Amino acid sequence: MPVYEYECSDCKKIFEVQQRMADKPLTGCPECEGSVKKLMSMSSFQLKGGGWYADGYASTNQSASSTGKPAESKSAPAPSCPASGGCGQCPAATS
């Protein structure tokens, strides 16, 4: 279950509560019954090690995983043309 942080507007106490994601947010402080607001806090979940990008995709290039940048895609080699007329007659040459 996720842990959520709340801050009381009256007593300024910050506390944590384990709640299911489907549960409604708390509305009152457990100590003074003042109104509370849910805080945004940093997640403790981190992807570490080689092969992870910041957006969560695995790397296929070892050097890209160490720099944190996406691997450059290598273009496929040009197909060999079996026609003896050259590439001018090939439909792929006009695109």
Encode the chain (95 residues) as per-residue pLDDT tens digits.
788 999 999 999 999 999 998 999 999 999 999 999 999 877 777 777 776 666 655 555 555 445 555 555 555 555 565 555 566 666 666 55
HSE toward the beta carbon, residue 22, CA cutoff 13 A: 0
Residue 11 lies in a domain: yes
pLDDT given at position 42: 75
Residue 7 placed within a domain: yes
Round to whole Å and give the CA distance between 6 and 83.
72
Would you say residue 84 lies in a domain? no
Residue 45 falls inside a structural domain: no
Q: Which residues contact 25 (CB under 8 A, 6 or more apart)?
A: 4, 6, 19, 38
Number of domains making up the chain: 1
pLDDT at position 87 is 65
Assess if residue 29 is contained within a domain.
yes
72 part of a folded domain: no
In this structure, is residue 13 part of a structural domain? yes
pLDDT of residue 80: 60
Is 25 part of a structural domain of the chain?
Answer: yes
C-alpha to C-alpha distance for 80 and 1, rounded to whole angstroms = 58
pLDDT (0 to 100) of residue 32: 93
d(CA 41, CA 4): 8
Q: By residue range, what is the domain housing residue 34?
A: 3-39
Residue 38 near residue 44 (C-beta atoms within 8 A): no
